[in-house]
Structure 1
């Protein structure tokens, strides 16, 4: 095989990689992209070598061909059979190449083209109609006109509802004026239906409903795409705080995971005298709490009336609100653990004197209280009686405490009892301790006028206080379209699997707090 044939084979392999990704409706995987780039480098090397050889041949002249040896005597019947076999192989190879590259095989078969000539024609076709070697050296899967229309229509629905998109699809802004009826007519017309403008919105909706399970139908796919983008935006932008102080975990199933053990600390290094023996170390284990996932979700419908009324909110804002609701639900569950103080894996309330993580008397935001909580956090011991080095990192407070917190940490000096200025020892923590304020705490405590606690937590890297587990790490809700008998409309399910677990009480200190008065005086 000469260098040109090798180059052709490598280019054909590149096209096969791109075709496989396009057929699956996806981008290239990391492995495919790596192979594609490797082939590209080899193609460029072969091209340089071929061009160099051609230039050299042009200067030096072609080497005269070697004399052809006399042909041996052959059996005419055997020669005929060989010719038939070669022709069959030629037709089979040409048919395969043309099928893979969308060419008409009959033309090449009838005019006697060789397999190499058909390969050249296929490569030329690739160069003119979606070459596998983009200018930037990266492979991309070309979208069809239908794919582009669906993407633009979905983005138009999202933007029409008032939601901003960073990079809307081409043509999306021009389609923002289309109603659901206009979009339905556009989709049905592209699928071969006629006379749609004379049909009522109710008739159009009936036609769309019959497409529910058709995987190639455009209108349901556009709705799915728009809803997906809307609920991802809602999930991303909702104002929650639990992920600032909890760890994210992952479980692969819904079983109760109760066989997690924590290995004990290694022993201290002991001096080994000359000629002495090393002492064998013995480890201990302690069981950690169980973890378990639960499923949470809701369902909503684009009803027949909503379609006729052109209610875009049911396609965009409602899914976004449900996605935000999932995050808010997790946020509330995490704070319910802090405020409710349930018994944990050892049968003792999370914050208690037994755990050495509860102040005996609640206070407001004072220097003495914060210093005491820092000392209590740093003097915790692990399950094996060894000191833990925990850096104070997060203070969680209800709404109304934030102002005092900033005054406490951002003032370089403080007033002493003698009314003199002194260095504020907490000023050094202003960049290392984050204050998290969440009104969820206020609501769980009954609102202003009630006693509200606050907490000091250690750095996530030092201790594992609370963990939110997701099924296979998936923290964005899943959405799927389904059919509900007796429902006039397109129905979607939104659901997410998660579990909240206290992993180690040593990672937090609780101040029972004092009554928080309403700072807003309303008539």
Structure 2
């Protein structure tokens, strides 16, 4: 009895995801379709089971897995039934489109976005970003002395999200014909369109109010002599003297209570009209005499949405321009379903986005030469 009741070994269980999980199966199918779109993509282990399947073959597999009969059904009937049933076919298509959309969205270039800080907002209510200032210097504490209490002031700017989107369709004929290009082309263009939309919003915000920028919480425009971040007068082209003036103004910036803060100019932002001149100005050369030295070293950023000769000097480490997405959705989101008005698949793209300037001290503007 003791021998029979002795433990024979450890019982091991696993909780690793399998293809029996609908979410895992849809993701594996979506990745397999991505391998046809991008042959350089290396599929994961679950996705290898579906690599090489055509769209009708994948629809047939989804119906079988859902326990639905497929005997005698042609490609058109299989695709139609897979779209209108509880199979994973629509989810797999949505997964593939989401992967293409995200890759296209991240690949699109934006001039101002690297100079802004991304934040996540939990909902669509206005969120206020608080600036603290007026924190007094630390004071020496004697051996038996007490710590003295300090105080600070605060002010803030708000950011609000808004929802943008469109619905597009992929025809049933394209799915039956195994047109993988149609499946990839639409989300790729939508991803680029979403990135372009965000860049447009940032550029529009910067040049709003006839170039003075948005009105801040103190009822003064972003770029104003009261903020010490705007070159008074008619403006001048960027050169050693004007860049030095901009750098001096930014170095002298103080918080709301008058204490100096650390603003270190890092970027020169120009439009296409000043690109060549700015490249020559910032080019690294080996001067033969001291008078040829250009002591100001900035990284050039060209924003094609900026018209005219205005230029900016920026320190992005000081909170200034921010853009926001809804928490958990860092960019455009895509959803697919069987179409009713469209004979095929309807694809909806949604983007929750907002942008604002929450401080003016990290940005300096010169209107440029007339």
The TM-score with structure 1 as length reference comes to 0.60
Distance 1:243 1:412 in 2: 29
Match of 1:436 in 2: 301
SS of residue matched to 2:135: coil
| Residue matched to 2:344 | 489
1:2-151 equivalences under 5 Å are 8=9, 11-12=10-11, 14-15=12-13, 18-19=14-15, 21-22=16-17, 143=19
Matched, 1:394 2:249: no
Moved more, 262-271 or 320-329: 262-271
Q: Report the CA distance shift for 1:184/1:474 in structure 2 as closer, same or farther (over 3 A).
A: closer
Per the alignment, residue 194 of structure 1 pairs with 71
Mapped to 2, the partners of 1:185 and 1:289 lie a distance apart of 54
Q: Choose the corresponding residue for 2:245, options 372, 378, 385.
A: 372
* Structure 2: segments with no counterpart, 5+ residues: none
Counterpart selection for 2:115 from 223, 227, 245:
245
Specify which of 305, 312, 318 is matched with residue 455 of structure 1: 312
Match of 2:59 among 177, 180, 184: 184
Match of 2:363 in 1: 508
When residues 148 and 256 of structure 1 are mapped into structure 2, their CA distance, relative to the original with a 3 A threshold, is closer
The answer (yes or no) to whether the contact 2:322–2:358 under 8 Å persists in 1 is: yes
Deviations 1:410-435 (A, max 9, x none): 344669xxxx65252425x2xxx322
Maintained 8 Å contact 2:134/2:258: no
Could you tell me which residue of structure 1 aligns to residue 155 of structure 2?
A: 287
Partner residue in 2 for 1:84: none
2:195 aligned to which of 312, 324, 327: 327
Question: Superposition RMSD on alpha carbons, in Å?
Answer: 3.5
Normalized per residue, the structure richer in helix is 1
- Contact preservation (8 Å) 2:31, 2:96: yes
Q: 1:297 to 1:148 in 2, by over 3 A?
A: closer
In the superposition, relative to structure 1, how do residues 148 and 254 fare at CA in structure 2: closer, same or farther (>3 Å)?
closer
Which of 296, 303, 307 aligns to 2:164? It is 296
Q: Which moved more, 1:474-483 or 1:144-153?
A: 144-153
Count of aligned residue pairs for this structure pair? 360
Residue 262 of structure 1: CA displacement?
3.1
CA distances 1:194-216 after superposition (whole Å, capped 9, x unpaired): 123xx3x54334323322xx1xx
Match of 1:262?
131
Structure 1 segments unaligned to the other structure (5+ residues): 23-141, 446-450, 516-523
2:291 aligned partner: 422
Change in 2 beyond 3 A, CA 1:272/1:233 = closer
Q: Distance in 2 between matches of 1:268 and 1:210?
A: 68
Q: Distance in 2 between matches of 1:404 and 1:465?
A: 26
Deviation, 1:399, is 2.4
Q: SS where residue 456 of structure 1 aligns?
A: strand
Judge conservation of contact 1:452–1:514 (CA < 8 Å) in 2.
yes
Cα gap change, 1:150 to 1:250, in 2 (>3 Å):
closer
Residue 269 to residue 421, structure 1, CA distance change in 2 (3 Å) = closer
Residue 367 of structure 1: CA displacement? 1.4
| Distance of aligned partners of 1:472 and 1:189 in 2 relative to their CA distance in 1, 3 Å threshold | closer
Would you say the 8 A contact 1:151–1:169 is kept in 2?
no
- Whichever of the two has the greater Rg, that structure is 1
Correspondence for 1:382 among 234, 255, 260: 255
Conserved? CA contact 2:50–2:58, under 8 Å: no
1:509 offset after TM fit, Å?
A: 0.2
Matching residue within 168, 171, 183 for 2:43: 168
Q: Is the contact made by 1:359 and 1:510 (CA closer than 8 Å) also made in structure 2?
A: yes
Distance 1:364 1:7, change over 3 A: farther
Taking structure 1 as reference, are residues 227 and 269 closer, same or farther at Cα in structure 2, changes over 3 Å only?
closer
Q: Hey, what does 1:64 align to over in structure 2?
A: none
Counterpart of 2:278 in 1: which secondary structure? Answer: helix
In the alignment, the residues of structure 2 paired with residue 256 and residue 146 of structure 1 have an alpha-carbon distance, to the nearest angstrom, of 37
Q: 2 CA distance for matches of 1:7 and 1:408?
A: 79
Question: Taking structure 2 as the reference length, what is the TM-score of the superposition?
Answer: 0.82
Change (3 A) 1:204 1:283: same
SS where residue 513 of structure 1 aligns?
coil
Q: Shift in Å at residue 234 of structure 1?
A: 1.3
Quick check: which one's strand share is greater?
A: 2
Provide the C-alpha distance between the structure 2 equivalents of 1:273 and 1:421, rounded to a whole number of angstroms.
52
